[in-house]
Structure 1
C-alpha cells in the first residue's frame, strides 16, 4: 500500500493596502516583518504614498473598495484619518494605524504633545545630511579604495572576498554610518594604513569556507582566466584564506562577525550594536 505524499499547501494571496502621508517606508518594513511569520500567505501590496489631500484619499479608498483587504496606514491629518477609518468600517475592512501604540506610549512617557507633521523623519535636517555624507563616503571607500583616508570612518569592515562587505557598508551608510571596507587578497598583504587607525572600529567578517566556495562558484562565470577562476573557488585555498583572516583579526584584537547564516540586515544590526556599546563606554 502506497503512502500518500504530503503536498505543500498552495500560497494564500491577499491584498494589503499601505496608506501613508509620507514615503511609506515604515509601512513597507512592518508589512515585511509581519508577513514573514506567515510563510503560506503572500501579500499583494498596494502602495499609496504622500496622501495629503481629500482627493488623494478618495481615490485611494476607491482602490481599496475595488480590491478589499487589510489596510495599514500612517496618516497624521485627523480629517483624512477619520475619512479613511469611517470608509474602511463601512467596507468591513480592517484598518490599522501602525504607529499609534508607539506614539501614545511616547506621549505618556514624555508628557509631550505630538507635532503632527507628516514625513517629519524625512525632513532636510542634520540627520538627513549626515546620511547623505555617509553614503558619499562609503561609495568612495568601497573595496579598498582610498585606504589613506580611512580615519574619518566610523567603521572599517575587513574580510576575504564574498563576505558581504559592500552591501553591509551600504546598509550602514543609509543609517548615517560612515563605513569603508578593505578586502583581504591572498596574493597581497593588507594595506599598512589599516593597522594605525584610532577613530574607526575595525571589524572582521568571516564565513564558512564551504559557503564561500558555493558563492564564489556562482560568480566565476564572467571570469576569463580559467586558472584564476578555479583558485578563486577552490575549497582548500578558501580554507587557508579564512584561517589567515581569523589569525589577522585575533592578532589585532578586532571584533569578528561570522556572516555565514546572517542576512545583510542582521550583520549590520550586530555592527550597530558594537558601535553603540563602544560609544557608551
Structure 2
C-alpha cells in the first residue's frame, strides 16, 4: 500500500474548519492523504519547526493564519525549503476586502470567541429553564442573578431575556403560604433583584391571564386585598435580603433588564 501523502495544517486556532476543507479536497483524489495539525501557531519559532518537518516528510503545508508577519514568514521559509505552501484564507479575504472596501482585522481566534459566546448563551438559556419558578432551589447558589417577586411580575420573560445576554438566572416566586428556600436568605444582595408592581396593574395582568386560560376572575388570585398582602409579604422578604427593588409596572422587559444591569453594575456578556 502506498504511503499516504502528508498535509501539514498550520492554524492560529484549533484548525478544525481548515481540516474539513483539506479533507473535502483530498476526497477528489485516489491517493491516500494524512493530515497533521499544528494548532495555535503564535510565533516564528512554531512556523520554523513545522516547515522543517514538512521538508523532511515532503509534506504540503496548508495554513489559516491571519497575522500578516506570520503569513509572510511561512511564505518565505516554504520558498527557501522548497515546500509547497497554500494560504487557505487569502483568496476569500481578498474577495471580502474588494467587496466591503475594508481592511481585515487580522486578529486570531475570532471565530473561537464567537463560539464561546454562542455556547455561553445556550448554557444560560438551559439554566433559566431548569431553574425557572423555583423548580430547583439549588439554582439560587449557582445563578449569576436571582429574580424574586410575586406571580406575574415578569420573572420568567426577564430570566429568558437575560439568558440570551449570557447570564444564568434563577427566579423564585414569593407566596405568603410557601416558605422561601433557605438558600435565598444566604444569597448575596449583589446577585439578587426584587421585582414589585403596582397593585392595580397586577390586578389587570392577572385578570387577563385568567381570561386567556378560560378561568373565571372570581378567585383570590385577582382579589385586590390578596394582592396587597402578597406585595407586602414580598417586599418584606426583599428588605430582609437587602437586594435592590425595581418597580416593573408598565416597563418593557428590555427596559427592566437594562436597569438591572445598571443597578448591579453588571457587564454585558453578549
Q: State the partner residue of 1:213.
A: 203
Q: Which of 178, 181, 186 is the equivalent residue of 1:188?
A: 178
Q: Which of 231, 234, 238 is the equivalent residue of 1:242?
A: 231
Q: State the partner residue of 1:77.
A: 96
Larger Rg over CA atoms: 2
Q: State the partner residue of 2:143.
A: 153
Equivalences, count: 172
The structure-2 alpha-carbon separation of the partners of 1:224 and 1:189, relative to structure 1 and needing over 3 Å to count, comes to farther
Shift of 1:215: 0.4
1:135 aligns with 2:125: yes
Alignment of 1:103-142 (within 5 A): 115=105, 124-142=114-132
Q: Which of 230, 236, 243 is the equivalent residue of 1:254?
A: 243
Unmatched 5+ stretches in structure 1 = 1-75, 83-99, 101-112
Which secondary structure state, in structure 1, belongs to the residue aligned with residue 177 of structure 2? Answer: coil
Which secondary structure state, in structure 1, belongs to the residue aligned with residue 121 of structure 2? Answer: helix
Contact 2:189–2:244, Cα closer than 8 Å, also in 1: no
Q: State the partner residue of 2:38.
A: none
Q: State the partner residue of 1:173.
A: 163
Shift of 1:149: 3.0
Q: Which of 258, 263, 270 is the equivalent residue of 1:269?
A: 258
Q: Which of 192, 203, 206 is the equivalent residue of 1:202?
A: 192
The structure-2 alpha-carbon separation of the partners of 1:131 and 1:200, relative to structure 1 and needing over 3 Å to count, comes to farther
Shift of 1:123: 6.1
TM-score by length of 2: 0.56
Which secondary structure state, in structure 2, belongs to the residue aligned with residue 180 of structure 1? Answer: strand
Q: State the partner residue of 1:67.
A: none
The structure-2 alpha-carbon separation of the partners of 1:234 and 1:274, relative to structure 1 and needing over 3 Å to count, comes to same
CA distance in 2, matches of 1:116, 1:165: 42
Contact 1:156–1:200, Cα closer than 8 Å, also in 2: no
Which secondary structure state, in structure 2, belongs to the residue aligned with residue 218 of structure 1? Answer: helix
The structure-2 alpha-carbon separation of the partners of 1:277 and 1:140, relative to structure 1 and needing over 3 Å to count, comes to closer
Q: State the partner residue of 2:12.
A: none
Alignment of 1:12-23 (within 5 A): none
Contact 1:206–1:258, Cα closer than 8 Å, also in 2: yes
CA distance in 2, matches of 1:121, 1:273: 29
CA distance in 2, matches of 1:200, 1:128: 26
Which secondary structure state, in structure 1, belongs to the residue aligned with residue 219 of structure 2? Answer: helix
Which secondary structure state, in structure 1, belongs to the residue aligned with residue 234 of structure 2? Answer: helix
Shift of 1:234: 1.2
CA distance in 1, matches of 2:248, 2:152: 10
TM-score by length of 1: 0.54
